[in-house]
Structure 1
Amino acid sequence: MEDEHIQIDDLSAQLGSLLKCPLPSAFYAVFDGHGGPDAAAYIKRNAMRLFFEDADLPQASDIDDVFLEELENSHRRAFQLADLALADECTVSSSSGTTALTALILGRLLLIANAGDCRAVLCRKGEAVEMSEDHSPTSLPERTRVEELGGYFRDGYLNGDLSVTRALGDWYMKLPFGSSSPLIAEPDVQHVILTEEDEFLIIGCDGIWDVMSSKDAVSLVRRGLRRHDDPQQCARELVNEALRLETTDNVTVIVICFSSPDHSKPLPSQRRRFRCCSLSEESRNKLRSLLGGN
């Protein structure tokens, strides 16, 4: 098992004064390691420093265009810092690496950063909205980028070795420093302002997505929430379904809820109230207040 994950339901409580943003906050991440578990385990252990302290998270009392740009740049910087940290870490082999996908919630802002083939899928009014790009040899933009840098694909693997085109670590493919390696750690970053139409978010490693479409995963979770309104149980059901479909990879998935189904009405016309099931009660109350414009 080379996967790792992070679930911080109340980021402000975790970071204290280091989080210079007064909005209710949460942070989630999944890491799919390869070449051993060391790279993924290192990033998990040092995530707070790498993604928030050293990356210089911007300060703001409101979400505007300037703040969004600074926040996206901060996350890109965090991925690069994490990559460089792995190069300097003597306990992590140069042949060990990890994909990384992070989900940061600040008030109604959801920001996703991804390097690799993990995936984030948002359920909006019952529809699957993909919030990340899979960085794999099957991606035409990634194939073009790799080949322009002198890389190649053999049997579906980057340079005949890796099944992803972006990852942290794997410094045996990136040295010497300053060279233009086809394997990069730069993430794609996407954001959305959440509304009452947004029901939940799924983030998971490719052990899920190898055997299940984004649409099927959303449908499974939506049915589960209607039955029992338990996101952790939905995550277990996704894992069990991936195993039933005979996935051959490690499986890690997190389900984050933003609304609760009204069981008294049919699903298409149900009334929703905004909440994040994993957040503290105080944070949920603040989120509801923000959505209500209070």
Structure 2
Amino acid sequence: MGTYLSTPKTEKFSEDGENDRLRYGLSSMQGWRATMEDAHAAYPDLDSSTSFFGVYDGHGGKVVAKFCAKYLHQQVLKNDAYAAGDIGTSVKRAFFRMDEMMRGQRGWRELAVLGDKINKITGMIEGLIWSPRSSDSNEQVDDWAFEEGPHSDFAGPTSGSTACVAIIRNNELLVANAGDSRCVISRKGQAYNLSRDHKPDLEVEKERIVKAGGFIHAGRVNGSLNLARAIGDMEFKQNKYLPVEKQIVTSNPDINAVELCDDDDFIVLACDGIWDCMSSQQLVDFIHEQLTSMQENKLSLVCERVLDRCLAPTAGGEGCDNMTMLLVQFKKPIMSVASPNKQSSPSKPADPESNLEDSGSK
């Protein structure tokens, strides 16, 4: 993870899209890292009333991030709780389901395909940014049946990924996060954190890690992982006497529900390569400046300018990580129609630059 190139790869994968409720832009850049381990998902029309956006920051390899980008939103849709209107429960189960699906013969085979030098579906070469395309349809049948084979006892990948996703339905925004990628909302130009960075030195994380038999050294779980929650990283999830929520490292996401209003400008989802370089408020201020001054109306250009601004001039330290940023702007007025089985929601986000406590469905 600490290997750097002699010169950064500044080519970017960028994309824009919209529907009648919102528009989005995204951009990803490998930067100084030797490999690109980020992935993302952007589905403005997950169904007729719901949008889904996600950022996945891999570590120890790219395959878990790619796996999440391909399958996590599908599992949200497939869960019975989603059909009942309980998005919070469906997204939490989808996070847990990622770890389940990556075990065994079929999980091993799928991770091996995603790790190939050339992905035959997208035709994109390793080192470029991977993004699910139209062939990865939400409608595809996927019962994920058990398969016999030489890797039937595969415990799952030792690499892992953060997952920070935002689901928007009518005037409800739900954010689920595991790891140190972050979601921030701009309300009247003020930045509010909608997720909490899961670092091992947080008291609630430290308590779980130690109770599960782990330790923290130099700010890292068992001296190696600088995250307390992640999908994958199965070596930290081997205690058979503990539920998934209480393992040394857990994929259990914080879930926060917020009611949107016309004061809300946009949300940003980004990996820690961005947040290492800019605070939440600094990024919100920069985005507002760009939206005011730029002549071209593409949100991906704003994302690209953020990546360029954060890129370090030399290798080493802040600004040398992979970078992915997803910007979602709300179209006004925001719909005020409440969704069925509405989540309990705070009337406004937490104090500026602070983190919300869990307020959504558990």
What TM-score range do you get, normalising by the shorter chain?
Answer: 0.7 to 0.9
In structure 2, distance between residues paired with 1:38 and 1:109: 31
In structure 1, distance between residues paired with 2:80 and 2:194: 22
| TM-score for the superposition, normalised by structure 1 | 0.78
Q: 1:15 corresponds to which residue? A: none
Residue 96 (structure 1) aligned with residue 159 (structure 2): yes
AA aligned opposite 1:84: E
Q: 2:298 corresponds to which residue? A: 230
Trace 1:247-286 onto structure 2 (pairs within 5 A). Answer: 247-259=319-331, 273-274=332-333
In structure 1, distance between residues paired with 2:241 and 2:78: 25
Q: Is the 8 A contact 2:161 2:230 kept in 1?
A: yes
Trace 1:87-166 onto structure 2 (pairs within 5 A). Answer: 87-88=103-104, 89-91=107-109, 92=111, 94-166=157-229
Q: Is the 8 A contact 1:87 1:171 kept in 2?
A: no
Q: 2:282 corresponds to which residue? A: 216
Q: Is the 8 A contact 1:121 1:131 kept in 2?
A: yes
Aligned residues: 247
Q: Deviations over 1:171-198 (max 9, x none)?
A: 1221254445210010000011110100
* Equivalent of residue 175 in structure 1, options 204, 216, 238: 238
Q: Is the 8 A contact 1:55 1:78 kept in 2?
A: no
Query: Once superposed, what is the RMSD of the aligned Cα atoms?
Result: 2.0
Q: 1:241 corresponds to which residue? A: 309
Residues 1:55 and 1:142: Cα distance change in structure 2 (over 3 Å): farther
SS at match of 1:185: coil
In structure 2, distance between residues paired with 1:185 and 1:123: 27
In structure 2, distance between residues paired with 1:248 and 1:161: 19
In structure 2, distance between residues paired with 1:41 and 1:257: 25
SS at match of 1:114: strand
SS at match of 2:323: coil
Q: 1:73 corresponds to which residue? A: 89
In structure 2, distance between residues paired with 1:113 and 1:195: 20
Q: 1:184 corresponds to which residue? A: 250
The percentage of counterpart residues that share the same residue type is 32
Moved more, 132-141 or 207-216: 132-141
Residues 1:244 and 1:160: Cα distance change in structure 2 (over 3 Å): closer
In structure 2, distance between residues paired with 1:120 and 1:55: 26
SS at match of 2:157: coil
Q: Which runs of 5+ in 1 are unaligned?
A: 13-21, 60-66, 260-272, 275-287
Q: Give, in angstroms, the shift of residue 243 of structure 1.
A: 0.7
Q: Is the 8 A contact 2:52 2:73 kept in 1?
A: no
* Equivalent of residue 57 in structure 2, options 29, 32, 43: 32
Q: Give, in angstroms, the shift of residue 249 of structure 1.
A: 1.3
Residues 1:87 and 1:55: Cα distance change in structure 2 (over 3 Å): farther
Residues 1:144 and 1:175: Cα distance change in structure 2 (over 3 Å): closer
Residues 1:292 and 1:76: Cα distance change in structure 2 (over 3 Å): closer
- Structure having the higher helix fraction is 1
Moved more, 172-181 or 228-237: 172-181
Q: Is the 8 A contact 1:6 1:44 kept in 2?
A: yes
SS at match of 1:252: strand
Q: Give, in angstroms, the shift of residue 103 of structure 1.
A: 0.5
In structure 1, distance between residues paired with 2:222 and 2:103: 20
In structure 2, distance between residues paired with 1:244 and 1:110: 33
* Equivalent of residue 70 in structure 2, options 41, 45, 54: 45
Q: Is the 8 A contact 1:55 1:77 kept in 2?
A: no
Q: Is the 8 A contact 2:58 2:160 kept in 1?
A: yes
Q: Give, in angstroms, the shift of residue 248 of structure 1.
A: 2.2
Residues 1:35 and 1:292: Cα distance change in structure 2 (over 3 Å): closer
